[in-house]
Homo-oligomer: A and B are copies of this chain.
Amino acid sequence: MYPLGKGLFAARNQWYIAAWSKDVTRDPIERWILNEPIALYRTRSGAVVALEGRCPHRHFPLGKSRVVDDNIQCGYHGITFSPDGSCVRVPSQNAIPARCAVKAYPVVELWQWVWIWMGPPDAADPSRIPDHLAIGLSDSAYQVDGNSYHEVPGRYMLMHDNLFDLTHFPYLHQSSIASGDFSSAKEIRGQGENWISGQFEFKDIDCPPIYADMFEYHGRINRDFGMKLFLPCLHVGYDHFFRASASTEQHGALLGKLSIYHAITPATTRTAHYFFALGRTFKRDDAEFGRSLMKGIDAVIDEDMHATREIESMLGHMDAEPQDLLLKSDTTCVLGRRMFEKMIRREIAQAFADKDTDAVQA
């Protein structure tokens, strides 16, 4: 489906960010991922559990049920499932029917969030999750404030499109962070097996007002900015600010460094989850500053949610799949979309191949 090819929604054999750690507690929550209801909760020892969120008996949502000891007990008839998805109790009978079970999803809790593997459990390989130290999370040089969760009122790819093309800053974010003319900055693009990146260098520019206030410096600056998407869900960015220098080769004194994290997880075919975090090397112990910074960022995110809602609504009115008009600034977007399509097509091909193998073996 738009903006991917016809019938292509999202890859399953992948790790996605399901929740902020703080949002997963002893009280279960329901979160839809890839069109599946998932119940998330913690055991007494604090381990995160992710189970299929629909009781196989009468389809009551387990994510709106109760946790008892380490298990989840359906809120309708009390059928109880353990963290591995097996049924451990049917209150109305002693025997437990063989097929009474829910799917258990592999999860990994890293830094402040919970990753979930949506493919076959035995294929879950946590080493495929981006290295949190390498990407700046868990790096003590940065104070990372991660607490922002947003329900996206549109399909997940609209948020990737948004991040693939930063030339929207001066327009969509005119009233907030309309800073940095990305179209005129020098861009270096990189691409790997499961990542795609763009780097921008700004030399001798005015310091955008919100950063000027942040650094208490209103002179000319150099700025290094980059974004890297680790498919399928995590965009990691850096934003380094320096005083401008007379030399064209060297930056002036460092003003500060930001690290930026956007995670996007498909919820239903027309909604998504969005998680945002921001790291900084300055005023690290100033919690008040951190809160104020996140508040400013929330206004920016509201603008992105607005654009997503409007576009999803527009798509809902169109009879046919829309054609985009592609611009030079969409190069990363086009390459990124192709990576998503390839990832999904590979899975579909593999599923067919597996079926054939099964048929031969049967």
Task: Please tell me the size bucket of the interface on A.
Answer: 35 or more
A170 at the interface (CB under 8 A from B): yes
Majority SS of interface residues in chain A? Answer: loop
| Chain B residues positioned under 8 Å from A91 (CB to CB) | 167, 170-171, 183
Q: Give chain A interface residues in 301-340, CB to chain B under 8 Å.
A: 307, 310-311, 314-315, 317-318, 322-329
A182 at the interface (CB under 8 A from B): yes
* Oligomeric state, in copies: 3
B-contact 0/1 string along A277-294, CB 8 Å cutoff: 000000000000000000
A209 at the interface (CB under 8 A from B): no
A35 at the interface (CB under 8 A from B): yes
Residue of B nearest to A330 (CB): B57
A273 at the interface (CB under 8 A from B): no
Check A37/B78 contact, CB under 8 A, given A311-B60, A324-B58. Answer: no
Instruction: Select A172's contact among B76, B93, B311, B328, beta carbons within 8 Å.
Output: B76
| Chain B residues positioned under 8 Å from A326 (CB to CB) | 97
| Chain B residues positioned under 8 Å from A57 (CB to CB) | 324-325, 327
A99 at the interface (CB under 8 A from B): yes
CA distance A59 to B323 in the complex (A): 9
Evaluate contact between A76 and B327: CB separation under 8 angstroms: no
How distant is A359 from chain B, measured CB to nearest CB, in Å? 22
B-contact 0/1 string along A28-60, CB 8 Å cutoff: 000010010100000000000000001011111
Evaluate contact between B92 and A59: CB separation under 8 angstroms: no
Q: Which of A58, A60, A91 has the most CB of B within 10 A?
A: A58
**A: which residues have CB within 8 A of B?**
32, 35, 37, 54, 56-61, 64, 73-79, 90-93, 97, 99-100, 161, 165, 167-168, 170-172, 182-183, 268, 307, 310-311, 314-315, 317-318, 322-329
